[in-house]
């Protein structure tokens, strides 16, 4: 429910800003703030969760999301949207680290792929529903009431977390990790560095897709509900491919999946800005979701497995930090590029980045 509110908020903020005559560069700034503020505290939050567990961080995350969305409801102006972006983004990143750590440590080590697949299916469901609900709600009740609707989902999640006790055993750090926790130690492992790079590139494309589709859709005069359907088709495809992951994993290695996802997604992104028909855009979005959707559970499993004992949440926090660097800088860069040259170069730059990433990852990680 919190991811639904977050995903719907991203779409609503983009379209709300465009309605307030914001430029693509301003929209890029708004979406960058979802990641810029959390970037400053994601690693300390990971270390905190290693020490105190997940319950209190998840409660704080839900409260932040609710409060951030309500800012836009109470003050429907462009400055308020910037505040909403900062606060909601901070809440979701806190939730993201906590819930991924929960999925890694609950149950047995051999359950991790299954746990992350279930978590990914949950995010896929909310990723499908959030943009669609936001798109249809904007057409029916307007941007401000849509934000209020999304705030209700965050409030319901906050109440549910408060009433239901959720906690997992904490894993103590080894003797060296207990004495000194240095970020560089997590980056020295070639395997972890490779996972961080792959994760950052795929996450960059994922978030940029949600940034460019509302702008591209508005440029070709699609309605908010149609834009929501396009984004929802992407989320639906992610759900489908993750549902089929137990069958896929038995037949294809992790790195083959990543290379295939990058190359196929790069091709689809190259075609995307050349299409103006809603049905074809929905089909392309579904294809993109298939390409990107299966990578996340495997990335998170590899990341936690390679992390030192007692530093699993910190490793997730480091990944979040590195992702947020790209999420903060690249929407600004692509927003400026889109304002100057249009959205086609943005799509093509993303396509080139993915195909190049697939080439770099053609050999399995050590």
Residue 262: give its domain's CATH number: 1.20.1250.20
Q: How many helices (H) and strands (E) does the chain have?
A: 17, 0
- Residue predicted with more confidence, 325 or 159: 159
Mean pLDDT of the chain: 82
- What digits encode the pLDDT tens for the residues 78-110? 999 999 999 999 999 899 889 988 888 887 777
Q: Are 289 and 234 in contact (CB under 8 A)?
A: yes
Ordered alpha helix ranges (H), 220-253: 224-243, 245-249
Lowest mean pLDDT among 4-8, 76-80, 190-194, 232-236: 190-194
In a domain, 11, yes or no: yes
In a domain, 178, yes or no: no
Domain membership of residue 142 as a residue range = 2-165+186-360
In a domain, 173, yes or no: no
The residue count of the chain comes to 366
Residue 47 C-alpha from the chain's centroid = 21
In a domain, 171, yes or no: no
- Residue predicted with more confidence, 299 or 13: 13
Is the pLDDT at 120 greater than 70, yes or no? yes
In a domain, 174, yes or no: no
User: What mean pLDDT do residues 116-135 have?
Assistant: 86
Query: Which CA distances in Å does 294 have to 68, 113, 240, 243?
Result: 31, 11, 9, 9
Burial pattern 122-142, b for ≥16 Cβ within 10 A else e, equals bbbbbbbbbbbbbbbbbeeee
In a domain, 311, yes or no: yes
pLDDT value at position 364? 59
Q: How confident is the model at residue 175 (pLDDT cuts 50, 70, 90)?
A: very low
Alpha-carbon distance 199 to 350, whole Å? 15
- What digits encode the pLDDT tens for the residues 204-259? 777 778 778 888 888 888 888 888 889 888 878 888 888 887 677 667 776 777 77
Lowest mean pLDDT among 48-62, 135-149, 285-299: 285-299
Is the pLDDT at 138 greater than 90, yes or no? yes
Q: Residue for token digits 């836009």?
A: 72
């Amino acid at each position: 429910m919190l991811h639904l509110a977050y995903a719907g908020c991203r779409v609503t903020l983009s379209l709300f800003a465009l309605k307030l005559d914001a430029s693509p560069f301003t929209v890029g700034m708004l979406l960058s703030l979802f990641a810029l503020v959390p970037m400053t505290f994601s690693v300390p939050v990971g270390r905190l969760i290693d020490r105190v567990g997940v319950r209190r961080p998840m409660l704080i995350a839900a409260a932040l999301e609710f409060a951030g969305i309500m800012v836009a409801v109470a003050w429907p102006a462009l400055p308020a949207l910037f505040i909403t972006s900062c606060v909601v983004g901070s809440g979701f990143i806190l939730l993201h680290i906590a819930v991924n750590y929960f999925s890694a440590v609950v149950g047995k080590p051999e359950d991790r792929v299954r746990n992350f697949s279930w978590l990914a299916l949950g995010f896929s469901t909310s990723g499908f529903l959030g943009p669609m609900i936001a798109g249809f709600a904007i057409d029916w009740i307007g941007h401000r009431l849509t934000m209020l609707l999304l705030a209700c989902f965050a409030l319901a999640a906050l109440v549910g977390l408060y009433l239901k006790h959720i906690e997992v055993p904490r894993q103590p750090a080894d003797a060296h990790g207990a004495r000194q926790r240095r970020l560089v130690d997590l980056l020295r492992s070639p395997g972890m560095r490779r996972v961080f790079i792959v994760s950052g590139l795929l996450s960059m494309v994922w978030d940029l897709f949600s940034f460019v589709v509302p702008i591209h859709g508005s440029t070709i005069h699609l309605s908010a509900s149609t834009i929501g359907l396009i984004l929802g088709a992407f989320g639906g495809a992610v759900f489908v491919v993750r549902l089929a992951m137990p069958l896929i994993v038995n037949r294809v290695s992790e790195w083959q999946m990543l290379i295939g996802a990058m190359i196929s997604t790069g091709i689809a992104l190259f075609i995307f800005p050349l299409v103006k028909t809603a049905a074809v855009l929905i089909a392309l979005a579904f294809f993109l979701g298939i390409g990107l959707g299966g990578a996340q559970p495997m990335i998170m499993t590899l990341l936690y497995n390679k992390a030192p004992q007692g530093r699993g949440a910190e490793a997730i926090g480091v990944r979040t930090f590195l992702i947020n660097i790209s999420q903060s800088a690249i929407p600004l860069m692509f927003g400026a590029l889109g304002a100057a040259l249009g959205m086609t170069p943005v799509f093509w730059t993303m396509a080139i980045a993915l195909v190049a990433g697939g080439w770099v990852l053609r050999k399995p990680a050590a």
